[in-house]
Structure 1
Amino acid sequence: MAPTESAILHNYLTAPAQLPSVISLEEFTELFPKAQRTNPQIRLLYRDLQHQRRALVDTVTENIAVEEKRGKYIRRDIAIARRKAANEDADQELEIERAVCRIRRERQLFGSVGADPKHTLNSIIPEMDTAVADLEAEIQQLEAQEAALLESVKQTVGTMSDLRYGKLSNPRLKEDVIEGLKSVQDACEGKR
């Protein structure tokens, strides 16, 4: 069974987001100058960052749960809209059937005496050819739309597949995080 959207989001956003999975205490300590590496404040700073990161992960987890609930409501609204559309289509079909039956009854009762045919054999053929050409053009347009939608869905599925298997679109993410931490460190050292 394929994983759910929330499972993918949890696996991608929360599991690898814990600070120790990004950088260990030892690696964090090595970012500081050698003279400062034994300072106990480094461990406290790491624990504080770890706490902040855990709070952020908790917020993300809550947001995933909220989005999951919202998704259920959206799916319900879509199902209701589809049912309404199906009922409207059925109502339109029923109206058409009634109109056809009414016309048949009128013809049976009153006949088609004095009614001139709307088309002759020679006049209907060009009309039918035009209708066929219009339908073929519409079919081609719908096929082009279908191909575009299919390509869009394939791209979305491919992107979600990358998330499922832990492939990141930004392979430099780890380096970017380390650079960000270094800039935080530089800012902290500048305030001393």
Structure 2
Amino acid sequence: MADEKSILTFLTESADLPELITRRQFVGLFPASKREDPAVRALYQDLYDTRSAQIHRIQKKINLECLDSARVLREDLARAKGFADAASERDDNDEIYDEILLRRDRKQLSLAEMLSQMELAADLIKRQLEEIDESTAQKLEECDTVVDSLSDLRYKKLRTGAVDECLEGLAVG
């Protein structure tokens, strides 16, 4: 339940309409001649009500998902321990679980399929890390070049004509 509370807090804590835009800010978006119009205030209230209903639906879905995942975990644990009868026990939340399971189209994967997908994901992550490493090495080389150039400038070791080229480059840009 602590995870459920964390998810709810993270996803919905600052999602209320006044957190995003206050009534005053909303009214300020309209031309001055329309700001006192009751329709503007009614529109904000309608947006507020709609947003609140959306947040409530999202919170309910999160709660249902948490309940469903807890049930699935309990069933998997019971199966893993060999307690087949424990998985068939019913509790107060079974009506909710049944509703979720009827709406959801679950594709059961075999262990081999899961391992194959995990290996593909691991390969993809490895490739992405290699690309990041290559990009980082390239950026470091560029930084070293810039630092060397700045060092030459600082210690006045520029080649003849480099200052003029620099000034010309700045004038063009």
TM-score (norm 2): 0.45
- Higher radius of gyration, 1 or 2: 1
TM-score (norm 1): 0.41
Higher helix share: 1
